[in-house]
Amino acid sequence: MSKAAIFGCAGPTLSADEAAFFRRADPWGFILFGRNIETPDEVRALVRDLRETVGRPDAPVLVDQEGGRVARLRPPHWRRYPPVRAFAELAARDLESGCEMAWLGARLIAHDLHGLGISVDCAPVLDVPAPGAHDIIGDRAYGETAAMVALLGRAAADGLLAGGIAPVIKHIPGHGRAGADSHEALPVVRAPLAELEAVDFAAFAELADMPIAMTAHVVFAAIDPDRPATLSRRVIAQAVRGTISFKGLLVSDDLSMRALTGGLGERAALAQAAGCDVVLHCNGDPREMADVAEAAGALEGEAAARAAAALARVAQPPESFDQETSARRFDAAFETGFASA
């Protein structure tokens, strides 16, 4: 039975020690970062080798490929994609074109990922940025309102799914008001619950049918003033599974981020106790991964059913797609700032 964990590795190839650890730990999946990515052939080989360690050809392999500043696949081997704010700016002028380009960009990303064997994209971001918030979200947001974020986020998620890639909506129940970057510090949001439900949670509620969501390392004082959402049973039960009604697989954000305190094993145990189905550890540090693997439970029961349902969403071949024509059209529109899209 798989461990309810997702792990990263240190470089573009697996070391013997990493392979042995993954065979023992049997994590549900893996995640790639820029440090793991060189040429397409090398990425395909790494994806294959990771899956071989756990003996599951469908073991999910994740990547953060949003576009803009959050893109692990980059030129010269892969297309450059704009920050998704570009689609919001286009949608403000022409709503239909904005949605079409958001879908097309995601569909092209799906083509890139599928060709490498990567099966899950940690996108779209559904956070609604608030005035004065930290710019960690910034141009990663699909707009300034929950309605626009939901509309364009839906288009992007549908584009990924059409290409055989599972989208991950993030950072549930919302990172847009955070006054700090949770990679570096713990943000505390003090907005009233009614305002959170009307804005921050609303975009996620519109995409509650998506297969996977990633939590926010953010304290929502109106629900739980003591713990960030990732570690808060109250936030997950009341906001994520309650108000938002998300029924899919819930994955923690990276446990090694500085927003969280305590040992890595403690963080993993608290996240699962709070209601995260799977815990994510990204940096490839072997000691930290060992602590997470020891503390994380098996993927079983309802969590296992949600994981299976998520993978079933991408088990079918991608829909028919004229990649070359679509790529030329997208690239031409991108070069003009989508002025003529």
The predicted-structure confidence for 63-119, as pLDDT tens digits, reads as follows 999 999 999 999 999 999 999 999 999 999 999 999 999 999 999 999 999 999 999
Residue type at position 93: R
DSSP code, position 240: I
Question: Could you tell me which of 147, 150, 109 has the C-alpha nearest to residue 126?
Answer: 150
Task: Give dist(CA 247, CA 338) in Å, integer.
Answer: 35
Distance of CA 261 to the CA centre of its chain: 22
Segment 297-310 mean pLDDT: 97
For the question of residue 253 being annotated catalytic, the response is yes
Residue 314 pLDDT level (bands cut at 50, 70, 90): confident
Per-residue pLDDT, 317: 80
* Continuous H helices in 81-131: 85-93, 95-114
CA dihedral for 266, 213, 277, 36, sign (positive or negative): negative
- The rounded mean pLDDT for the chain is 96
Q: Return the minimum-mean-pLDDT range out of 231-235, 289-293, 329-333.
A: 329-333
Task: Give dist(CA 36, CA 29) in Å, integer.
Answer: 15
Q: Find the distance separating the first CA and the last CA of the chain, reported in whole Å.
A: 48
pLDDT digits (tens, 9 = 90+) for 209-228: 999 999 999 999 999 999 99
Residue 239 pLDDT level (bands cut at 50, 70, 90): very high
Question: In the chain, how long is the greatest CA-to-CA distance?
Answer: 54
Strand partners, 212: 168, 249
Segment 180-201 mean pLDDT: 94
Residue 180 CB: number of other CB atoms within 10 A? 17
Q: What is the token pair recorded at 194?
A: 């009614």
Consecutive H or E run containing 268:
helix 264-274
Strand partners, 63: 32, 121
Segment 314-330 mean pLDDT: 90
Helix (H, G, I), strand (E, B) or coil at 294: helix
Catalytic residue among 17, 41, 183, 209: 183
In this predicted structure, the answer to whether residue 341 has a pLDDT above a threshold of 70 is no
Beta pairing, strands 278-281 & 3-7: parallel
pLDDT > 70 in the chain, percent: 99
Q: What is the token pair recorded at 229?
A: 């959402």
DSSP code, position 212: E
Catalytic residue among 26, 158, 253, 277: 253
pLDDT > 90 in the chain, percent: 93
Task: Give dist(CA 139, CA 156) in Å, integer.
Answer: 15
Per-residue pLDDT, 229: 98
For the question of residue 183 being annotated catalytic, the response is yes
Model's pTM, two decimal places?
0.97
Residue type at position 47: V
Pairs from 193-198 (Cβ < 8 Å, separation ≥ 24): 193/222, 193/223, 196/220, 196/222, 196/239, 197/243, 198/146
Segment 234-251 mean pLDDT: 98
pLDDT digits (tens, 9 = 90+) for 116-161: 999 999 999 999 999 988 999 999 999 999 999 999 999 999 999 9
Tokens 């959170």 found at:
196
In this predicted structure, the answer to whether residue 339 has a pLDDT above a threshold of 90 is no
In this predicted structure, the answer to whether residue 340 has a pLDDT above a threshold of 80 is no
Q: Spell 201-232 as b/e; 16+ CB within 10 A means b.
A: bbbbbbbbebbbbbbbbbbbebbbeebbbbbb
CA dihedral for 69, 70, 75, 81, sign (positive or negative): negative
pLDDT digits (tens, 9 = 90+) for 268-284: 999 999 999 999 999 99
